Structure 1
């Protein structure tokens, strides 16, 4: 199942390739990750730093605590990962992969700070983008079609 995958930021200034050994990923619920991403949790794929190649511009980094830094794109703001300062591994954000569908969550980290109401949302109703006329109209006006 080992393979090379690609990813990067929303504006495509920062791009990467990475060797992936399996489909395991995890959710981090810590306060630092919530604040860094603006989300209720963040999905990460742990990889060896040596297996990551930044193929266009390298990412910018923010030292988010005394023990870690986070790669991101200073142009569009996309969070790209998390990295302990003393580790040979790093985490890439699952959402920054070009095809994140390969990954499956296998664990939760920092569960003591997890927001319980957000842990299981499968019971909530859902709506497709193409069913929301105001959004469809905006996209068609801007691009002539819905985004990929």
Structure 2
């Protein structure tokens, strides 16, 4: 068991979770996750609800007749998914963790909506943020103001 922390972009909604060593991280490609995240897939990790402690209860969006999603109403960060009733489990978004580097996807879900061109991007040109001059100029100007 490993305790990990995470939260939203603005820091208003924070969590800690006791994560079992055999946790299951996966990519969900279902249309609901695509719409909730504004992306082609959503990286998630399954946890027990009672293993998650929120420093401030997240806002909840009833995304369908059977499910709801925690999020931050201040910054809009998607934090996870759970069925509205009948389960002791939920999923947290991998990117919401303070250090998501240890997660490795073990499966795909909702593959009927998968955009395969976005799954394997090996070989595409890559650029580091600090190498993009226009971005660095914007940060420098923002710090000077």
Name the TM-score class by shorter chain.
over 0.9
The aligned counterpart of 1:115 is 115
The aligned counterpart of 1:62 is 61
Q: Separation in 2 of the partners of 1:15 and 1:100?
A: 15
Deviation, 1:112, is: 1.3
The aligned counterpart of 1:6 is 5
The aligned counterpart of 2:139 is 139
Instruction: Determine helix, strand or coil for the equivalent of 2:25.
Output: strand
The aligned counterpart of 1:45 is 45
Q: Give the superposed CA RMSD.
A: 1.1
Deviation, 1:140, is: 2.1
Q: Separation in 2 of the partners of 1:130 and 1:12?
A: 24
Deviation, 1:139, is: 1.4
Q: Which runs of 5+ in 2 are unaligned?
A: none
Matched, 1:89 2:89: yes
Matched, 1:27 2:22: no
Q: Separation in 2 of the partners of 1:54 and 1:83?
A: 15
Q: Deviation per CA, 1:11-40: give whole Å up to 9, x if none.
A: 000000000112531000000000011011
Instruction: Determine helix, strand or coil for the equivalent of 1:65.
Output: coil
Instruction: Determine helix, strand or coil for the equivalent of 2:136.
Output: helix
The aligned counterpart of 1:78 is 77
Q: Deviation per CA, 1:30-88: give whole Å up to 9, x if none.
A: 00000011011000010000000001x21000000011000000000000000011211
